[in-house]
Amino acid sequence: MDQATPTLEELHKLLQMSDTINMEIFYWWCIALMVVIHAGFLSYEIGASRLKNALTAGVKNILAFAFIVPTFFFFGWWIYNAFYGGFTPDLAGAAGALPWAKSMGPDVTDNATGIFWGAFVMFAATTASIMSGAIIERTRMSAFIVLAIILGSVVWILAAAWSWHPSGWLTTEWGFHDVGAAGCVHTVAGFFTLGVVINVGARIGRFNADGSANDIVGHSMPMSVVGLMLVIVGFFGFLGGCIIYVPGEQWTNIYGQHTTLSAFAFNTLMGFAGGLIGAYLTTREPFWMMSGGLIGIVSVAPGLDVYYPPFAYVIGMGVAATAPLVQKYMVKKGLDDAVGAFAVHGYGGFAGLVLSGLFIGGYPNVMEGAPVVNFLGQVGGAIVLALLGFIPGYAISLVMKKMGVLRVPAHAEERGLDLVEVPAQAYPEWAITGASTTVANTSSDTGSYDKLHDAKPA
């Protein structure tokens, strides 16, 4: 049977529909890759924990994910659409993000809302995973979940509304530019984590009476290194989600400025490679080498769309080389960030924003009438986001501490969180080996070790 030849108008509609579907598929796979980030965080935190705490480290990551998804649906997405102008919400503009709105369900005419919401909720869960590693082995599961919800479904998305929205006030008033979310994800989560670390306190045995530090050794360095590599793989989905796929048009960054995946590919890989080398040169440790690769990506994230690739390599190398020094300084101050989360994300994101102010100043802002990207705008934005992370992280965890609900009791910490929080054992057949160790140092030099104490099995 003969079929009528489609008209040009019908062909145009078919091409538009195909482009829209391609957009939806693109973000679908970005979301899938971002789930790999959480598999990586789970793996590296399990490896960084002693045997008696391994399962708890993994379970709390999974539970944070499970709690953030619904809370982000009910109020996190609305915050992003309502608060880009500051603390006064745009109620009319955010009406479509209310949980009962038509677009927040199976609307067959809307190919965008759900898929963008899905990408943003993965960013939200990433912020919680950044915090989780720093406070392993002594934090109550319930306290961590509450903090994760506040960070992932309230604090970071408020930061995103201010700085990672085409109408965000930091963009339109200060000329802020951060295409790869070094500020609203990494800086905010890192400084929120710092506030919590201050209040949760150090693990038993981490510091001696004279202030010297003992290394608490995780049970599987290979698992941690592989986990960090999985985080890197997932970050290609994370950064892909930072690009706006416009059907039938040139792709743009989150601010509406034209960019390409090619630009992101150049600078992501160069920043990653530079970070690997930088951290390796200053530590020679596999864990910090892989963490350095992540720092390299974070530090170049603000200017992924405009950096000259060899320059991204140098930035990644420099920030990653200095990050371990930040971790050592924290140890000297008696702060126990178990995986260096603040040095990697808080310092890495903040330093990347400051450097971008130096090197991409003068880049035009897509918003008409808004100032161009400038040093003061980048530094000011970094400070605002750091405070937005630190103040609630410190204040809420301090209240929890005063109420006695932040940290497990000492006897439970000694016995192991797997038995008191999960309860289960990751490797019960290994329990008799006493494989979890604390390296005790009786001198003031935290780099030398005098004796090795086997931890008592639970």
Which pLDDT tens digit goes with each residue over 127-170?
Answer: 999 999 999 999 999 999 999 999 999 999 999 999 999 899 99
pLDDT(26) > 60: yes
> Residue 330: what pLDDT?
97
Q: Give residue 264's Cα distance to chain centre.
A: 18
> Residue 13: what pLDDT?
55
> Residue 117: what pLDDT?
94
> Residue 364: what pLDDT?
84
> Residue 298: what pLDDT?
97
> Residue 431: what pLDDT?
53
Condensed to tens digits (0 to 9), the pLDDT of residues 318-360 reads: 999 999 999 999 999 999 999 999 999 999 999 999 999 999 9
> Computed from CA positions of residues 190, 192, 194, 197, in that sequence, does the dihedral angle turn out positive or negative?
negative
User: Taking residues 236-248, what's their average pLDDT?
Assistant: 87
Single-letter amino acid, residue 267: N
> Residue 4: what pLDDT?
58
d(CA 156, CA 134): 18
Give the phi and the psi of residue 258 in degrees, each rounded to 5.
Answer: -60, 135
Least confident of 68-82, 406-420, 436-450: 436-450
Q: Give pTM, 2 decimals.
A: 0.90
Residue with tokens 């960030």, as numbered in its chain: 337
Question: Is there a contact between 447 and 215 (Cβ–Cβ < 8 Å)?
Answer: no
Strand partners, 438: 216, 453
Q: How confident is the model at residue 56 (pLDDT cuts 50, 70, 90)?
A: very high
Domains and CATH numbers, the chain: 12-412 (1.10.3430.10)
Q: How confident is the model at residue 22 (pLDDT cuts 50, 70, 90)?
A: confident
> Residue 11: what pLDDT?
45
> Residue 14: what pLDDT?
46
